[in-house]
Chains A and B, each alone.
Chain A
Amino acid sequence: MNPSSFFLEVPDDRRLWQDFLAGEVGAFEKLMSGNFRALFRYGSKFTKDREFVKDSIQDLFLVLWEKRENLNPDAAVKPYLMASLRRLMHRHITSRAWVGNEPLADEESYFDMEFSVEHEYIEHESTAVRMQYLEKLLQELPRRQKEVVYLKFFQECTREQISEIMAISPQTVSNLLQIAIKHLKTHWKIEFFIFFLVHFLF
């Protein structure tokens, strides 16, 4: 995991944002390149179509440029960008499905996280089994819970940032998070033993 990879990386986003709002193309360019990779990673959670993600990010910045005069100069830049991308992609995905090209249910419930377990940290077999199980539990989480867990633990977002990105109240964020973690823990206790046995017996 790369701690703080996302939210602490570019300290001058605020300044770039304000220059961009003033119509500076240079600032627009820096803002877009500086945030592109992170947005691309986030966007890729909603679809496997990387061209679609790239197009969406481009659309997002074109829209921002177009309405820059009406944007809040004090917006929290990264959460705002993520929230806007999320909105834009969801709109496209739902509309695609509407026309019948994509199965709606699948796309809507889609939040894809791929994990890889770094074995250099693992000394005991039992830890490896726990990891495998943990991964399975994470994948089983419903979409919204998964997204909250992703933003909280893998993007180090605060509760307020998550609430802005996902357009839900901070209280809902806490609730979702609590349910998710409870799921990750309780299931663990009950099923872990069985999982452990199965792993070693078969």
Chain B
Amino acid sequence: MERYNDFAVEDFVWDDFFRQWTLAPTPETDAVWENWIDANPEMLEKVEQAKAMVLSLRLHEPQIDDLEISQVVKQTVGRITRDYADGQPVRKMPVFSIPWLQFAASVAFIVLLGWTVYIMLIKPDETKGISTRETTKTTTTSNTKSLQEKHNNTNKTIVLTLSDGSQIRLAPQGRIRYPEKFDGARREVFLEGEAFFEIAKDSRHPFLVYANGLVTKVLGTSFLIKAYGNSGEVTVEVKTGRVSVFAQSDPQAAEKMSDKELQGVVLTPNQKIIYARDEVKMVKTLVEKPEMVVAKAEIPQFDFEDTPASDVFATIEKAYGIEILYDAQLLKDCPLTARLDSQTLHEKLSIICKAVESSYEIIDGQIVIHSRGCKN
């Protein structure tokens, strides 16, 4: 014990034997230290201080509760006891069934196969694409033979024209796979990364984009998809026309793919869907900067003079093609005088709402106006 005779407080704090005594004292260590302190009473203060420091320094560990743990454990056990091939999600999916698990499974599967990280990252759509093709083959007669692959490794957007005349603007680092010629019942492409699609109209051959577990189905329209390999989100923004989206793991996915009608979540112009793999949900909202959908010549005059607010909202609704929910009875008594041609949609709405003492929010891709009217 002599070596402790010239210890400073900080030496004690990091000394193994001292810590052991402080944190888990036994009668033996108590005896040793008490004897030593009796022989060196001048050290008592240092020992006390070091003791307080050792005891008070707590590591703050992140919390995880037993329920959360048992969920993951159950899920994992379910995965090992079940054949990968039947692909049934183990966790119960609320509202939309989301292929989060399939995604995790494909990642784990790749790891299991001993794939290198490099391959996993650079070519994930290959495995995904293959699995998609297998499922499509079993569900329909669609003929997806040799696919071409385009990887945009430049730093500019590149434009591709497909055999049906559809155009794809592929952003840098984007990767797309498509057949040389569309000859099945459906036009199908696989995307990873970001791309803007302008799809040639052909209502008898729906166009489907597969991106990170999300299927976007259209008949003829233009829209933007962002599906980066490692981001937890896929977003789809609609510019013109209507598109429907659904998760690839949706139990009715096969039906939704082949149906001539648009099923699933339907998006109209200026709407956007955020499909969050991790949070197991789809959120419908508006694109950041909604644009007017009417032809230039038909853009209305946004020059209002004592116009009832209800008429103003009707004009905006028509110009942007976004549904606005408001109480027409209440708002017809709220006159508005303003010139609103240069502002964005959100600026327009803010100005109007301020003028007529109301507020607005975006719910499920629609604009909802809250107002108490202007009668008093």
Q: Do the two shown chains form a genuine complex with each other?
A: yes
Question: Residue-by-residue, is B48-64 near A (CB-CB < 8 Å gives 1, otherwise 0)?
Answer: 01011111111111101
A29 contacts B49, CB within 8 Å?
no
Chain B residues whose CB sits within 8 angstroms of the CB of A25 once the complex forms:
77, 80-81
Chain B residues whose CB sits within 8 angstroms of the CB of A33 once the complex forms:
69-70, 73
Q: If the complex has contacts A40-B62, A91-B117, A99-B229, are A62 and B56 also in contact, measured as CB distance less than 8 A?
A: no
Min CB gap A119→B, angstroms: 7
B62 contacts A118, CB within 8 Å?
no
B79 contacts A4, CB within 8 Å?
no
Chain A residues whose CB sits within 8 angstroms of the CB of B10 once the complex forms:
184-185, 188-189
Is B9's beta carbon under 8 Å from chain A?
Answer: yes
Question: Residue-by-residue, is B287-329 near A (CB-CB < 8 Å gives 1, otherwise 0)?
Answer: 0000000000000000000000000000000000000000000
Q: If the complex has contacts A58-B72, A58-B75, are A130 and B104 also in contact, measured as CB distance less than 8 A?
A: no
Is A136's beta carbon under 8 Å from chain B?
Answer: no
Chain B residues whose CB sits within 8 angstroms of the CB of A29 once the complex forms:
73, 77
Question: Residue-by-residue, is B1-24 near A (CB-CB < 8 Å gives 1, otherwise 0)?
Answer: 000000011110110000100011
Smallest CB gap from A62: residue in B: B108
Is B120's beta carbon under 8 Å from chain A?
Answer: yes
Size range of the interface on B? 35 or more
Give CA–CA (A95, B111) in the complex, Å. Answer: 13
A130 contacts B9, CB within 8 Å?
yes
B64 contacts A115, CB within 8 Å?
no
A123 contacts B52, CB within 8 Å?
yes
Is B76's beta carbon under 8 Å from chain A?
Answer: yes
Give CA–CA (A98, B117) in the complex, Å. Answer: 10
B56 contacts A94, CB within 8 Å?
no
- Count residues of chain A with CB under 8 A from any CB of chain B: 61
Q: If the complex has contacts A4-B24, A59-B107, are A95 and B117 also in contact, measured as CB distance less than 8 A?
A: yes
Question: Residue-by-residue, is A80-108 near B (CB-CB < 8 Å gives 1, otherwise 0)?
Answer: 00000000100110111011110000000
A115 contacts B73, CB within 8 Å?
no
Q: If the complex has contacts A25-B77, A131-B57, A134-B57, are A37 and B64 also in contact, measured as CB distance less than 8 A?
A: yes
B112 contacts A63, CB within 8 Å?
yes
Smallest CB gap from A48: residue in B: B62
Is A32's beta carbon under 8 Å from chain B?
Answer: yes
Is B230's beta carbon under 8 Å from chain A?
Answer: yes
Give CA–CA (A98, B374) in the complex, Å. Answer: 57
Partner of A127, one of B23, B24, B52, B64: B52
Is A195's beta carbon under 8 Å from chain B?
Answer: no
Is B44's beta carbon under 8 Å from chain A?
Answer: no
A99 contacts B56, CB within 8 Å?
no
Min CB gap A24→B, angstroms: 11
Min CB gap B50→A, angstroms: 9
Is A199's beta carbon under 8 Å from chain B?
Answer: no
Q: Could you tell me which residues of chain B, from 216 to 271, have a CB within 8 Å of some CB in chain A?
A: 228-231
Is B202's beta carbon under 8 Å from chain A?
Answer: no
- What's the dominant secondary structure at chain A's contact region? helix
Question: Residue-by-residue, is A122-149 near B (CB-CB < 8 Å gives 1, otherwise 0)?
Answer: 1110110011001100000000000000
Chain A residues whose CB sits within 8 angstroms of the CB of B51 once the complex forms:
121
Q: If the complex has contacts A41-B61, A59-B108, are A1 and B73 also in contact, measured as CB distance less than 8 A?
A: no
Partner of A131, one of B8, B53, B117, B228: B53
Q: If the complex has contacts A3-B24, A115-B60, are A55 and B104 also in contact, measured as CB distance less than 8 A?
A: yes
B14 contacts A1, CB within 8 Å?
no
Min CB gap B6→A, angstroms: 14
B230 contacts A96, CB within 8 Å?
yes
Smallest CB gap from B20: residue in A: A3
Q: If the complex has contacts A37-B69, A57-B72, are A184 and B112 also in contact, measured as CB distance less than 8 A?
A: no
Give CA–CA (A156, B62) in the complex, Å. Answer: 18
- 17 extra interchain contacts, Cβ-Cβ under 8 A, other than A117-B56, A119-B56? A25-B81, A36-B69, A40-B64, A44-B62, A51-B278, A61-B76, A62-B80, A65-B80, A98-B121, A99-B121, A99-B230, A117-B57, A118-B56, A121-B55, A131-B56, A134-B53, A153-B19
Ranked nearest first, the 9 interchain pairs of A and B with the lowest CB-CB distance are A3-B23, A114-B60, A121-B56, A95-B117, A121-B55, A44-B62, A118-B56, A36-B69, A116-B60
- A-B contacts, 18 of them at CB < 8 A, read A36-B64, A36-B73, A54-B64, A55-B104, A58-B108, A59-B104, A62-B108, A96-B230, A116-B58, A118-B58, A121-B56, A122-B56, A124-B49, A131-B53, A131-B56, A150-B59, A181-B14, A188-B10
